[in-house]
Amino acid sequence: MADCLFCKIIAGEIPGKFAHQDDQLVAIADINPQAPLHLLIIPRRHIATLNDLTPGDDALVGAMQRTAAALAAQHGYSEHGYRTVFNTNRGAGQTVFHIHLHLLAGRGLGWPPG
Ligand code: 5GP
Ligand code: ZN
């Protein structure tokens, strides 16, 4: 999509610090990290919000979660713990309308979240 920040990062038009790339997903470092580890797992295909998913996307979303777990493991957080979060629409804090899974680790993560 022409005007989408994450589509532009995936296309290499805007720089990103890539932690993972495969045929369907990328992971980049968040530009404004909220924890010592803060990565965004992003599908290459533009999907605006979780509300736009179809049953055909089930494997893609599963791959996003499994990639987050693998990246958490790579950084040594599997046992201690980490958090994965999708924000959906403005009321939940979504600011970039191309779905992305936040992976946060490395500090105390309170519950309930803000
Ligand atoms: P949201 O608020 O939509 O759940 O998450 C969007 C995330 O994208 C935020 O955590 C924000 O810091 C991050 N972000 C915004 N602009 C950029 C950018 O240009 N590059 C990177 N790497 N992250 C960004
Ligand atoms: Zn996009």
Nearest alpha-carbon partner for 10 in 49, 51, 40: 40
- Whether residue 85 contacts residue 101, with contact meaning beta carbons closer than 8 Å, is answered with yes
pLDDT at 2: 80
CA of 99 to the centre of ligand 2 (A): 8
Alpha-carbon torsion angle 46, 49, 51, 52, nearest 10: -10
Q: Which two tokens stand for residue 52?
A: 């736009």
- The model's pLDDT over 31-89, given as tens digits with 9 standing for 90+, comes to 999 999 999 999 999 999 999 999 999 999 999 999 999 999 999 999 999 999 999 99
pLDDT band at 113 (very low <50, low <70, confident <90, very high): very high
**Minimum CA distance residue for ligand 1 atom 1:** 94
Q: What pTM does this model have? A: 0.98
114 vs 36 pLDDT, higher one: 36
pLDDT at 52: 98
CA of 74 to the centre of ligand 1 (A): 22
pLDDT at 114: 82
pLDDT at 64: 98
Pocket of ligand 1 (CB under 6 A): 5, 16, 28-32, 87, 93-96
- The per-residue DSSP string of 8-77 comes to HHHTTSS---EEEE-SSEEEEE-SS-SSSEEEEEEESS---SGGG--GGGHHHHHHHHHHHHHHHHHTT-
- Whether residue 2 contacts residue 8, with contact meaning beta carbons closer than 8 Å, is answered with no
